[in-house]
Amino acid sequence: MDTTLLLDNLTNPALLFFVLGILAVRLKSDLAIPENSSKFISLYLLFSIGFKGGQELAHSQFDLSIVWAILFGVLVACVIPMYTFFILKRKLEIESAGAVAAAYGSVSAVTFVTAVTFLEIQNITYSGHMVAVMALMEAPAIVIGVMLIRLYSKKEDGLPKMRKVIGHSFVNGSVLLILGSLIIGLLASEEQALGIRPFTTDIFKGFLAIFLLDMGIVSGRKLNDFFKNGKSLVMFAIIVPLVNGCLVAMLSGLITDNTGDRFMLSILAASASYIAVPAAMKIAAPKANPGIFLPMALAITFPVNITIGLPLYLSIVKPS
């Protein structure tokens, strides 16, 4: 692994603002991002990712590689929650195990965004349809997680019908926005897209930094509850994502030779959702403890991915 890439990521403003948020909580500072502002920034990031991905997709020539990438991504999103659930249910209650499994089978749009910036620094391109792959990997993991909770829960009363859960996962705000923005970006002409480029591109990194500051504050507030559950969850949040990312980095060579696409598939497999999955689990598994899966995804897995994971996955997929 290239130590220069690791050092670059350790000084990445995105990570440093995340750390600043955690520090602010530990120092008992009154620093906070207003809730409405935080929600707006989340929506903006999803809109920008989707729209730019749609534009990239519009310039791509549709072929079987897109179909294979989507099928591969959906398969990964189904397999990861299945095997992680059986690891987690030894330490956690069924509802929490299912929620964590769904979170790790699903994806993190912010990790995806950070990976895009990382590739830009390395002057490596990726296909626009990777955004579609990311959006389509959200729902399968949620559905698998809920199915596992239903199968292994002793008390099934009160759990919603599967049709309702599936419907909620597809109309969840984050999923709907990114899919809708992708379609709009696909339909918009290059001239039309140019008119909003200052909004979709120029201010993107600044908003990302503020969002990560807010995520650091949220994670810092939940760290105490998280560490009460033992070191095994910390090890899970470090090791499992790295294993998932490395395996997909190697296996993705079976469907594409594109370095950027293989890298993006790896980071999607390694990331954990903290937007769509928590929203869905409020309906599907109300007894699941967000004080467990949010810190795992935000405070452990996210920084591990953008410091160690990004250069590690790139070293695997990059031609020697």
Per-residue tokens: 193:
């897209």
Tell me how far apart the alpha carbons of residues 274 and 214 are, in angstroms, rounded to a whole number.
Answer: 13
Query: Residue 20 has what pLDDT?
Result: 93
Tell me how far apart the alpha carbons of residues 208 and 205 are, in angstroms, rounded to a whole number.
Answer: 5
Query: Residue 1 has what pLDDT?
Result: 47
Please, what is the average pLDDT of the chain?
84
Q: Which residue has the higher pLDDT, 157 or 221?
A: 221
**Residue 71 CB: number of other CB atoms within 10 A?**
13
Which amino acid does the sequence have at 225?
D
CA atoms within 13 A on the CB side of 28: 0
| Per-residue pLDDT tens over the stretch 274-297 | 777 876 777 777 788 777 887 888
Query: Residue 303 has what pLDDT?
Result: 84
Q: What is the CATH number of domain 3-26+35-317?
A: 1.20.1530.20
- % residues pLDDT > 70 (the chain): 88
Mean pLDDT, residues 192-197 taken together: 88
Write out the DSSP string of the chain: --HHHHHHHHT-HHHHHHHHHHHHHHTT------HHHHHHHHHHHHHHHHHHHHHHHHTSPP-HHHHHHHHHHHHHHHHHHHHHHHHHTTTS-HHHHHHHHHHHHS--HHHHHHHHHHHHHTT----THHHHHHHHTHHHHHHHHHHHHHHH-S--TTPPPHHHHHHHHHHSHHHHHHHHHHHHHHHS-HHHHHHTHIIIIITHHHHHHHHHHHHHHHHHHHHHHHHTT-HHHHHHHHHHHHHHHHHHHHHGGGT---HHHHHHHHHHHH---SSHHHHHHHHH-TTS-HHHHHHIIIIIIHHHIIIIIHHHHHHHHS--
Burial class of residue 274 in the structure, from the number of CB atoms within 10 Å of its CB (0-12 exposed, 13-18 middle, 19+ buried): buried
Mean pLDDT, residues 257-264 taken together: 95
**Confidence category of residue 173, pLDDT binned at 50, 70, 90:** confident
| Per-residue pLDDT tens over the stretch 93-110 | 899 999 999 999 999 888
Instruction: Tell me which long-range contacts 60-64 makes (C-beta under 8 A, separation of at least 24).
Output: 60/127, 60/128, 60/129
Per-residue tokens: 101:
């499994």
Rounded to 5 degrees, what are φ and ψ at 160? -70, 165
Tell me how far apart the alpha carbons of residues 171 and 256 are, in angstroms, rounded to a whole number.
Answer: 31
Res 165 pLDDT > 80: no
Mean pLDDT, residues 250-258 taken together: 94
Of the candidate ranges 114-128, 184-198, 213-227, 253-267, the one whose mean pLDDT is the lowest: 213-227
Query: Residue 87 has what pLDDT?
Result: 94
Tell me how far apart the alpha carbons of residues 12 and 9 are, in angstroms, rounded to a whole number.
Answer: 5
Query: Residue 260 has what pLDDT?
Result: 94
Rounded to 5 degrees, what are φ and ψ at 229? -85, 5
Q: Which residue has the higher pLDDT, 34 or 169?
A: 34
| Per-residue pLDDT tens over the stretch 48-89 | 878 887 887 777 667 788 889 989 999 999 999 999 999 999
Res 258 pLDDT > 90: yes
Domain ranges of the chain: 3-26+35-317
Tell me how far apart the alpha carbons of residues 211 and 49 are, in angstroms, rounded to a whole number.
Answer: 14
Q: How far is CA 244 from the centre of its chain?
A: 13
Per-residue tokens: 310:
């990004």
Prediction pTM value: 0.76
Mean pLDDT, residues 189-197 taken together: 87
